[in-house]
């Protein structure tokens, strides 16, 4: 029965991969017939997403370069942020160069924030967390996982589930690292359900590994074995290096603990070949460590020493002082940037509140003067003065609404000058007719008041003349 289930899983995974390959080919066909830059950018992004995150393949550096070229030509902050995100992911996932990856991620973050692109901000948070997990800085990693959870786009966003599963993956990884299998299992199962909604075989594979790891930590080895069989059934369909490394980091120690040395060695050799083929230091470091452990258990000192030297050499490259300094400098610069941005936002908010108060004060004074002049029964007032004050009041009201609505307009227009201008024109179009009506009312009241004042003055004059006669 188990063999039938495994065969069914394998056949189903092949069908999914075939459909996804067909989808990628259709996207490439559309791309060759598309000249619009933004459409080309979106098509290349979909191809990269399908090849890497859905199918589990490696990221194509040439496609990342094409994205950056388009974004630079368009001078679009949101597209630039996406381009740098993909370049960072190439260094992180394909090459295992965490320092370079973090450099591009931190370069993309302010651009994504400037464009108010929550989907991109969330993506960068999760990718930064993965880089920190690779660097064994789990505390920094989980901070960015939680930040990514706070930055998730609205549920109506088409990529909401894809972003949500990255949060669930990050939290499951955190709880596994601190040996809290119950919490890890909760997030891992939620991760699996999200991966099914997204229809990503790569992320489903990843979620199954987390579930198996959680059951192993709980001592429920039979349940863990069930999930291991499911993972092995689809392992050939997944090519993405970090996901294969994630499985090896769980599976090889599990094999060693069971005393299955031959299978552990076969898995470790496959991992080492994968690392050398892609020049990925993260993978080579893990593989050399496993090979050292295996030959130690076999009491083969020469081979154990060879892989120990390899492990030390790769470890020195990854955690060299220059790399450590670079990563610390990047993290420090990002911290300073966030502090400065927060201070700038606070200052701008205070200035905006102060300007709103000034506008309200000026509007109140102008309104009082117009009302007094229009309704006062003692003074004859020039209508031109009322019209002048009405125009001043209109300008003050417009400025007040601009100050009040500016943050909201920025959020819905993503700082686009053209859209901001159109929004302000729409506000002005609503204000001008209202201003005309109020001006007409004030002028009418003023004329009636002036008539009454003149009539009262005439009556007093007549009464005085009659008294003199």
- Write out the two tokens for 92: 């992180």
d(CA 136, CA 50) in angstroms, rounded, equals 29
d(CA 244, CA 131) in angstroms, rounded, equals 16
DSSP 207: H
Q: What is the DSSP string of 272-334?
A: HHHHHHHT-HHHHHHHHHHHHHHHHHTT-HHHHHHHHHHHHHHHHHHT-HHHHHHHHHHHHHH
Residues sharing a CB contact under 8 Å with residue 125, sequence separation 6 or more, in sequence order: 144, 145, 147, 148, 151
Q: What is the DSSP string of 241-255?
A: HHHHHHHHHHHHHHH
**What is the dihedral sign for C-alpha 301, 303, 304, 306?**
positive
Delimit the domains of the chain by residue range. 2-239, 338-468
Residues sharing a CB contact under 8 Å with residue 207, sequence separation 6 or more, in sequence order: 165, 169, 172, 188, 189, 191, 192, 194, 195
pLDDT (tens, 9 = 90+) of the chain, 469 residues, equals 444 434 334 334 434 444 445 666 778 888 888 889 999 999 999 898 887 766 556 788 889 999 999 999 998 999 999 999 999 999 998 888 888 999 999 999 999 998 888 899 999 999 999 999 988 899 999 999 999 999 999 999 999 999 999 999 999 999 999 999 999 999 999 999 999 999 888 899 999 999 999 999 999 999 999 999 999 999 888 888 889 999 999 999 999 999 999 999 999 999 999 999 888 888 999 999 999 999 999 999 999 999 999 999 998 887 775 666 677 777 767 777 777 677 777 777 777 777 777 667 666 766 665 565 555 555 555 666 666 666 766 676 676 667 667 677 776 776 667 777 787 778 778 767 776 776 666 666 666 666 666 666 667 777 777 776 6
Contact (CB, 8 A) for 58 and 52: yes
- Write out the two tokens for 380: 């004859």
φ/ψ of residue 154, rounded to 5: -60, 155
d(CA 120, CA 135) in angstroms, rounded, equals 23
- In this prediction, residue 246 carries a pLDDT of 92
Angle between helices 221-234 and 241-258 (to 10 degrees): 140
pTM of the model: 0.67
**DSSP3 helix / strand / coil % (the chain, rounded to 5):** 85, 0, 15
- Write out the two tokens for 260: 């299955």
- In this prediction, residue 326 carries a pLDDT of 72
- In this prediction, residue 262 carries a pLDDT of 94
Q: List Cα–Cα distances, 356 to 352, 378, 404, 406, 428, in angstroms.
A: 6, 34, 7, 11, 18
- In this prediction, residue 379 carries a pLDDT of 54
Residue whose tokens read 């003067």 = 369
- In this prediction, residue 279 carries a pLDDT of 86
3-class SS at 388?
Answer: helix
Chain centroid to CA 88: 14
- In this prediction, residue 461 carries a pLDDT of 75
φ/ψ of residue 107, rounded to 5: -75, -30
**Among 3.40.50.2300, 3.90.320.10, 1.20.1530.20, 1.25.40.10, what is the CATH number of 2-239?**
1.25.40.10
What dihedral do alpha carbons 269, 273, 276, 282 form, nearest 10°? -60
- Write out the two tokens for 358: 């000034």
């Amino acid at each position: 029965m188990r063999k039938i289930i495994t065969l069914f899983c394998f056949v189903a995974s092949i069908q999914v991969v075939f459909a996804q390959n067909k989808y990628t080919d259709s996207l490439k066909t559309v791309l060759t017939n598309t000249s619009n830059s933004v459409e080309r950018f979106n098509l290349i992004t979909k191809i990269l997403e399908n090849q890497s995150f859905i199918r589990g393949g490696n990221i194509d550096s040439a496609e990342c370069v094409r994205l950056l070229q388009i974004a630079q030509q368009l001078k679009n902050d949101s597209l630039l942020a996406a381009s740098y995100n993909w370049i960072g992911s190439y260094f992180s996932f394909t090459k295992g160069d965490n320092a370079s990856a973090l450099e591009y991620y931190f370069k993309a973050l302010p651009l994504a924030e400037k464009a108010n692109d929550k989907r991109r901000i969330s993506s960068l948070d999760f990718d930064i967390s993965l880089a920190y997990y690779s660097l064994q800085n789990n505390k920094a990693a989980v901070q960015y996982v939680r930040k990514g959870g706070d930055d998730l786009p609205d549920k109506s966003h088409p990529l909401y589930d894809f972003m949500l599963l990255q949060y669930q993956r990050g939290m499951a990884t955190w709880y596994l690292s601190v040996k809290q299998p119950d919490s890890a299992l909760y997030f891992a199962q939620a991760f699996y359900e999200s991966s099914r909604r997204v229809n990503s075989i790569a992320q489903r594979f990843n979620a199954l590994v987390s579930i198996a790891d959680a059951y192993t930590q709980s001592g429920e080895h039979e349940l863990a074995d069930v999930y291991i069989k499911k993972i092995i059934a689809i392992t050939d369909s997944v090519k993405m290096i970090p996901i294969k490394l994630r499985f090896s980091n769980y599976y090889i120690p599990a094999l060693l603990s069971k005393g299955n040395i031959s299978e552990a060695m076969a898995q470790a050799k496959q991992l080492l070949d994968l690392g050398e083929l892609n020049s990925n230091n993260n993978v080579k470091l893990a593989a050399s460590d496993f090979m050292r452990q295996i030959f130690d258990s076999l009491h083969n000192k020469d081979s154990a020493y060879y892989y120990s030297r390899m492990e030390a050499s790769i470890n020195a490259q990854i955690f060299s002082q220059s790399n450590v300094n670079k990563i610390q400098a990047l993290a420090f610069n990002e911290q300073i940037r966030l502090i400065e941005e927060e201070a700038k936002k606070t200052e701008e908010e205070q200035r905006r509140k102060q300007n709103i108060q000034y506008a309200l004060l000026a509007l109140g004074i102008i309104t009082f003067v117009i009302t007094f002049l229009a309704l006062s029964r003692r003074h004859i007032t020039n209508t031109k003065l009322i019209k002048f004050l009405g125009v001043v009041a209109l300008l003050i009201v417009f400025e007040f609404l601009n100050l009040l609505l500016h943050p909201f307009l920025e959020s819905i227009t993503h700082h686009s000058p053209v859209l901001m201008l159109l929004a302000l024109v729409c506000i002005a179009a609503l204000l001008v007719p209202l201003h005309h009506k109020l001006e007409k009312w004030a002028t009418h009241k003023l004329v009636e008041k002036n008539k009454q004042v003149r009539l009262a003055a005439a009556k007093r004059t007549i009464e005085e003349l009659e008294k003199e006669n």
